[in-house]
Structure 1
């Protein structure tokens, strides 16, 4: 089949979801697959805290994770024209498509706290991490760093910096990582204490103002800070909104349970920027790669004239590194609620490292053998179906009223 007859698929975003989708689409030789990404390399986001601390790298060459049959275009996408089935690139070129996979990922949310945008350093993208590292070097190794936000990124960053000998305060804004089971939370708190991290939690610990040398809390306390790292909240690019596509309140592309846009059956979404049925999954590589695989499978099913499968995504755990020698693997049920069972200490660190290496391994494996990835077909999404049923019940009543 000639290239002019081939079905053209464009994937926007070269993160965990986009690379998985692009690789999987190469199962068919009659497709042309183009991946548009603003960087020439793959960013292993779950290692960004190591990039900042200088204990590891977060940049992986695309040749290590991307199938040879995928065309890589290093550029940004300014707008999607669904009617014309084309995307406008930042460099001025238009790319036409027959199917589009929207996998633009997530980034830092607008902090909306006075002074945070001016004085704090976010850490959700490679560019932010590269800006933060020289800033850390500039304030000196003995200057206190305040990390705001006690989710996995905040905890990992605080631990990594403290292990290197820096004085660190971790501002929780309430409870230390609310996702964790209480026993897991106690384990993390003990490790942070051993590292010398000052954990600022409880009522009144929400940051309300950031200055060049301090973080002020809701209860009136002021923490001295030579440098402030901001890890509170995630946002998504506004490309879908700018393109006139239907999104949820955060800006994630609204889809059905096959990850197909509610506006256009030629547009699919995957990863952090997808909101299937308005019930998005937890932002994580644990969800992004399966969603990328499913978005690709939906495209392949439509081309083959088959009925696509629906989201049935289970979760297994949340893993957090606590420096290079400690960590926690917090198990969860398939509804993504933490349970008492955990692995911590040195073994927890090894499990986290296994996960980090395994993510790249999954992507590389799918590049080498498209269709080999199977984790999105594990099943166990029963609670999601219950939530969907509960969501649809009032709509059914409205229709019959």
Structure 2
């Protein structure tokens, strides 16, 4: 094929940057990355931005291939028939293939007063709005963190380590992903930091006011700053553009990440719902999905059949301040197992992960096609789950598979909170 092809990537996060970099390995392909920010947001450090000990940004020149054209703008509509993307500045950008990697952000809390008085932390802009509120509050002022997934735990620990009076309202169990043993370790560390943890069935927020948080059991907690980390949503760009989405607005695709509506549109990251069974929202999923999306585009350009997903998970890591953390191992069904590494070694592992993520992106920028982690030998697990969801096969070790299937939205299994 001698003609030049234009590939547009919408979204410059973990998935979008990985996809854009990888696409540059083929001659005759022009890659344009559309992103509303001029810098890469290292999202798994946003809790550190809030605490003031990291900027949570990396210059695109350090992670983006030289051959990628960065356009700082916001995509407002996709016209699949005309193969164009309209941006906020009013221009239209044409494409032959489109990678949809718009990521995720805060979901509507659906709790009276939360949208007005609570601060989300899911995006860079959210974190930047929160910083001045914390700076203006006295050091002894009560701070409430709502949501006890990794983001909530990390934020509570980071602020408590600075001497803040922090209450963590779980809305259920502390660290839903964690094994019981790992949960005990996290609870002990939070207690040492002085964090008050409120968990259990009554630990659900029913209202937020300017200076308090109300719980389902009638308690009213004083709160000068309330931070909301419970729940994630995705931009509605796909839905507004007339593309098929799931109930949260994620683009529906097949197992090659190709849109069910248009073979020229491929999704990656938190905004993708392959087979209606989206993966756990995390950078651990986003980068391999970005690589897989790029491979699908390159296969279609070459006239070859794209490979199906074989995504795997192996762990979840959580920082607990600057000197402590936990690295929670999981089995092939992404269910936490008894083994974890905590304490200072856990903190070092989490910091290593944060650095390795950027390293992977930078390496793919310098040597496109070098990333291999989306081709795991254990990847057959994903297809087992897809077949089970379709009723074509019974997944072995049903108890171990429950968290993954529940996170995928299947109602017959236990509740799971999937957060980055």
TM-score class normalised by the smaller sequence: over 0.9
Question: Contact (CA 8 Å) 2:312, 2:381: kept in 1 or not?
Answer: no
Report the CA distance between 1:316 and its aligned residue: 0.8
269, 272, 287: which is aligned to 2:267? 269
SS at match of 2:390: helix
Could you tell me which runs of 5 or more consecutive residues in structure 2 were left unpaired when the two chains were aligned.
393-420
Q: How far apart in 2 are the matches of 1:201 and 1:289? A: 33
Question: Contact (CA 8 Å) 2:64, 2:365: kept in 1 or not?
Answer: yes
Report the CA distance between 1:178 and its aligned residue: 1.1
Q: How far apart in 2 are the matches of 1:392 and 1:50? A: 41
Report the CA distance between 1:382 and its aligned residue: 3.3
Could you tell me which runs of 5 or more consecutive residues in structure 1 were left unpaired when the two chains were aligned.
395-401
Name the residue aligned to 1:399. none
- Give deviations 1:234-275, integer Å, cap 9, x for gaps: 000000000000001110000000000000000000000000
Q: TM-score, normalised by structure 2?
A: 0.92
Q: How far apart in 1 are the matches of 2:96 and 2:374? A: 24
Name the residue aligned to 1:360. 358
Report the CA distance between 1:202 and its aligned residue: 1.2
Name the residue aligned to 2:311. 313
Name the residue aligned to 1:98. 96
Q: How far apart in 2 are the matches of 1:300 and 1:340? A: 41
Q: How far apart in 2 are the matches of 1:379 and 1:132? A: 42
Report the CA distance between 1:203 and its aligned residue: 2.1
Q: How far apart in 2 are the matches of 1:279 and 1:371? A: 27
Name the residue aligned to 2:413. none
Q: How far apart in 2 are the matches of 1:334 and 1:58? A: 31
Matched, 1:111 2:91: no
Name the residue aligned to 1:214. 212
- Give deviations 1:353-388, integer Å, cap 9, x for gaps: 000000000000000000010000013233322222
Matched, 1:389 2:387: yes
Name the residue aligned to 1:53. 51
Name the residue aligned to 1:295. 293
Q: How far apart in 2 are the matches of 1:149 and 1:379? A: 34
Q: How far apart in 2 are the matches of 1:93 and 1:276? A: 30
Aligned residues: 393
- Give deviations 1:14-55, integer Å, cap 9, x for gaps: 000000000000001210000000000000000000001011
Report the CA distance between 1:174 and its aligned residue: 1.1
Report the CA distance between 1:389 and its aligned residue: 1.6
SS at match of 1:375: coil
232, 235, 242: which is aligned to 1:234? 232
SS at match of 2:116: helix
Question: Contact (CA 8 Å) 1:313, 1:379: kept in 2 or not?
Answer: no
Name the residue aligned to 2:127. 129
Name the residue aligned to 2:33. 35
